[in-house]
Structure 1
Amino acid sequence: MNSSVVMPIIGYMSSPYREKFGIPRQPNLVQVESYIEMVEPYNDVLAFEGIEDFSHLWLLWQFHDNKNNTNTLNQEPKFRSQVRPPRLGGNQKVGVFATRSMYRPSPIGLSVVRFVRVEKHGKSVRLYVTGSDLLNGTPILDIKPYIQYSDAIADSVSGYAQDEPIRKMVIWMETAQLQQQYLLKLGILNKKILDELEQVLSLDPRPAYQNDIERVYGMCFAELNIRFTVDENNITVIAVESNQ
């Protein structure tokens, strides 16, 4: 029996998440706008006819930048029967099929996002969404409409991930505020990106096992490099610079 399946890539995600550090651990925690650039022959606007009647979509995608998995869908990745979910502090192991870990037998992800619009740019077709948790450049395997009456289960139970993570307050040091104002003046930063950035930071992007309040962390978001510290209640931005 053939143990592998070859799937076509229909497009690639364009998002402000330029590295895995900082990506929300679930979709719809941060309302960042991103878009899927469709590739031939799937860049046909007729393929999206009727999609505006749905508020949300399912995206099926590939974990393409996971060094512990193979990089293609027709090769078998290294199998881990147990992983350490961040929601359990990164210390407790559970079965891989009881998690959404990237370390899976098939490097496939599933995210529900909010539909925004479809735009045609020359020969290109772009599908705009918000709430994505996908790295920039993520290959998209399929797009399906979210069906409210069947996909939303009112009495569902989500184990150790039943509640949304607690958000921290984002504080800007004076030097970082001056840098922020300078980047706003240059047009490198705008109010929309600033709001999205603060949403990302409020979720505490650190790995679960890191809790050093003295450590300065760095993160790339859109065209920005951000440095910050974390304590029990706050994220303190100490610097924000352009990476252009």
Structure 2
Amino acid sequence: MAIADNLTRIRTAIDAACERAGRPASEVRLLPVSKTFGTDAILEAYAAGMRIFGENKVQEVVAKATELADHEDLQWAMIGHLQRNKARDVAACAAEFHALDSLRLAEALQNRLEALDRTLDVFIEVNSSGEDSKFGLPPAEVADLAAGLGSYDRLRPRGLMTIAARSDDRKVVEACFVRMTELRQRLRDDDKSTGSYEELSMGMSGDFELAIAHGATTVRVGTAIFGSRPALGPG
């Protein structure tokens, strides 16, 4: 049960990071990122108490959701970039979407959700590092998207998501998390924003403790739970 042991270790690290930050541990949710791992690994984490898993490829999450459909309390969070023509699949099987970056995508999701009579929790993806290799909106453009989401009642904005800079310099990574905390506060203060913006989905295996120190409410951890990723994954 290596995965169960890893989950215990990560939960302990989350609790300790919350204590150092003066935050209740209940404020931080662990989202295991199971992309490229098979359903056996997911079921091992499920047996250890996890009920929601993060995936970044539509084809992969659909396949896994179909295979594990008999586990009715198991949920999926789509955390990867999404093309509008794949909105149907995410609307059908995901409970959360962490990569909303345009009103055109919001409209595509809204239409599919209406047809299915479902709702979807969403996080606006922010490019907090300014790196060209990353998806997400520049911080300056987030307020306009947040205001426009009022037209889409099937989407439930919960907060913001980011992937911090890839850097060994703690200050560079920390600056990304600070930007997100400040941006969340601006959205909370903006009467035009639609949604609660209570949540920050940020921090991964290498930096989740730093993210917690700066207000993360969901940390997305993959390799520290499941191990090194396979060279080729399903989907």
| TM-score with structure 1 setting the length | 0.23
Who wins on radius of gyration, i.e. which is larger?
A: 1
| TM-score with structure 2 setting the length | 0.24
Which has the larger helix fraction?
2
Higher relative contact order, chain-length normalized (CA < 8 Å, sep 6+): 1
